[in-house]
């Protein structure tokens, strides 16, 4: 009999609570499943465990030291403590070291109130930084047409590097130099375009600070609301969250959801081309009909009624349907069904070869 390892369940104790989790998951995943907060900066569910920021350290019975929760797999009967006095003190010290190299400009930072660094500081309870500040004085890179790179705000969590390498498979950026000089950059200090960047914006979306920010919506502030929709640029069906402020789309962000087809990723058009497309002055917002030689606005009912009336005069091979490769399979199915069942012809073509 073959046992499905993915179906195995183990029992662990976290802060005195018995939790049943899947065998093979990490301590951090088990804690989050139980609703227990463990601070992190370098962790992201779409990336492999890294253990760089050391903020998720925990105490595990019969285990030496303070292992990182994001890299330690659970075992049956494991006893874990996530919030002891010693852990709180260690985390504050670690976080203070991170903040010592981070500029104190939250009020004027475009990521203010949406910064994970602020959230972690609030959760950990850091009220002041006693260490002397370390200024990097690095230039702000504006070699991308869509976003800026200010590595003065970088905390070296490695998320941008890993998402570019692990998820997107591009590797346009990497860690350069070593030790205290370590930075995120490109090989030989090339521009992003010369390093093979696809400008998908995955690094921007995954950055926990203001080191990477899209330029167009940089100072738009917090949105009034967010609307989840489907990207219109192709038939893949990527889910996007459109951030709306004062009735205008200011930013489109891919939705991270295991059930979504894109799982938190988007292409350059879906990530940076929605707001400009929606509010472009030349975009048609209502149908046009030609009257007396001029195109004038009309209602959808009038336009569709006119199309139906014209189509009723033609049957069979007098009609042909040109479908789009950017439509979904369901939409293309309806197109061919309409052509064959309603119009009575097999004249169906598409633009997939273009």
Given 105, 128, 151, the domain boundary residue is: 128
Domain that residue 333 falls in: 290-350
Statement to judge: residues 200 and 298 lie in one domain: no
**Domain-embedded: residue 285:** no
**Domain-embedded: residue 80:** yes
**Domain-embedded: residue 4:** no
State residue 288 phi and psi, 5-degree precision: -115, 140
**Domain-embedded: residue 118:** yes
Statement to judge: residues 319 and 236 lie in one domain: no
**Domain-embedded: residue 34:** yes
Statement to judge: residues 177 and 85 lie in one domain: no
Statement to judge: residues 43 and 109 lie in one domain: yes
Residue whose token pair is 């976003």: 147
Look at residue 258 in the predicted model and tell me its pLDDT.
82
Statement to judge: residues 269 and 297 lie in one domain: no
Q: Cα–Cα distances in Å, from 204 out to 58, 160, 208, 212, 227?
A: 29, 7, 9, 5, 20
Whichever domain contains 259, its CATH number is 2.20.25.90
Look at residue 180 in the predicted model and tell me its pLDDT.
86
In angstroms, the CA 241 to CA 251 distance is 8
Statement to judge: residues 181 and 269 lie in one domain: no
Statement to judge: residues 18 and 104 lie in one domain: yes
In angstroms, the CA 10 to CA 233 distance is 44
Look at residue 147 in the predicted model and tell me its pLDDT.
96
Angle at which helix 116-124 crosses helix 85-100, to 10 degrees, equals 140
Look at residue 148 in the predicted model and tell me its pLDDT.
96
Alpha helices, DSSP H, located in 8-54: 27-33
**Domain-embedded: residue 169:** yes
Statement to judge: residues 79 and 169 lie in one domain: no
Statement to judge: residues 123 and 19 lie in one domain: yes
**Domain-embedded: residue 59:** yes
Q: Which of 122, 137, 126 is nearest to 99 (CA)?
A: 126
> What pTM was estimated for this model as a whole?
0.85
Whichever domain contains 143, its CATH number is 3.30.70.20
Q: Are 323 and 332 in contact (CB under 8 A)?
A: yes
**Domain-embedded: residue 268:** yes
Given 128, 147, 177, the domain boundary residue is: 128
Count of the separate structural domains present in the chain: 4
Statement to judge: residues 158 and 79 lie in one domain: no
pLDDT in tens, the chain (354 residues): 343 555 589 999 999 999 999 998 999 999 999 999 999 999 999 999 999 999 999 999 999 999 999 999 999 999 999 999 999 999 999 999 999 999 988 999 999 999 999 999 999 998 888 999 999 999 999 999 999 999 999 999 999 999 999 999 999 999 999 888 899 999 999 999 999 999 999 999 999 999 999 998 888 989 999 999 999 888 888 999 999 999 999 999 999 988 889 999 999 999 999 998 899 999 888 999 999 999 999 999 999 999 999 999 988 999 999 988 778 888 889 999 999 999 999 999 987 654
Statement to judge: residues 233 and 304 lie in one domain: no
Whichever domain contains 91, its CATH number is 3.10.20.740
Statement to judge: residues 256 and 232 lie in one domain: yes
Given 82, 104, 128, the domain boundary residue is: 128
Look at residue 1 in the predicted model and tell me its pLDDT.
34
In terms of Cβ atoms closer than 10 Å to its own Cβ (0-12, 13-18, 19+), residue 28 is buried
């Amino acid at each position: 009999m073959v046992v499905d390892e993915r179906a195995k369940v183990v029992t662990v104790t976290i802060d005195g609570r018995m939790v049943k989790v899947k065998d093979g998951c990490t301590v951090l995943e088990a804690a989050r499943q139980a609703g227990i907060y463990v601070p992190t900066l370098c962790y992201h569910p779409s990336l492999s465990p890294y253990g760089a920021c050391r903020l998720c350290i925990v105490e595990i019975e019969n285990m030496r030291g303070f292992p990182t929760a994001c890299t330690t797999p659970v075992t049956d009967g494991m006893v874990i403590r996530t919030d002891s006095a010693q852990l709180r003190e260690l985390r504050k010290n670690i976080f203070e070291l991170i903040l010592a190299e981070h500029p104190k400009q939250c009020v004027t930072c475009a990521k203010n109130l949406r910064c994970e660094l602020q959230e972690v500081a609030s959760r950990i309870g850091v009220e002041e930084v006693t260490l002397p500040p370390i200024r990097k004085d690095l230039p702000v890179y504006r070699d991308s047409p869509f976003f800026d790179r200010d590595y003065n705000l970088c905390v070296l969590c490695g998320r941008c590097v890993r998402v570019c390498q692990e998820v997107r498979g591009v590797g346009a950026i990497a860690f350069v130099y070593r030790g205290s000089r370590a930075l995120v950059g490109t090989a030989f200090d090339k521009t992003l375009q010369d390093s093979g960047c696809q400008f998908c914006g995955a690094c921007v979306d995954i950055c926990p600070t203001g080191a990477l920010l899209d330029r167009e919506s940089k100072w738009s502030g917090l949105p009034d609301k967010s609307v989840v929709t489907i990207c219109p640029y192709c038939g893949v069906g990527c889910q996007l969250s459109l951030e709306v402020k004062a009735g205008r789309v200011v930013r489109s962000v891919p939705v991270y959801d295991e059930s979504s087809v894109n799982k938190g990723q988007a292409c350059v058009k879906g990530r940076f081309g929605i707001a400009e497309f929606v509010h472009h002055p030349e975009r048609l917002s209502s149908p046009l009909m030609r009257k007396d030689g001029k195109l004038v606005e009309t209602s959808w009912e009038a336009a569709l009624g006119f199309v139906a009336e014209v189509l009723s005069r033609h049957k069979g091979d007098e009609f042909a349907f040109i479908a789009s490769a950017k439509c979904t399979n369901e939409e293309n199915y309806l197109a061919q069904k309409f052509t064959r069942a309603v119009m009575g012809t097999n004249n169906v073509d598409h633009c997939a070869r273009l």
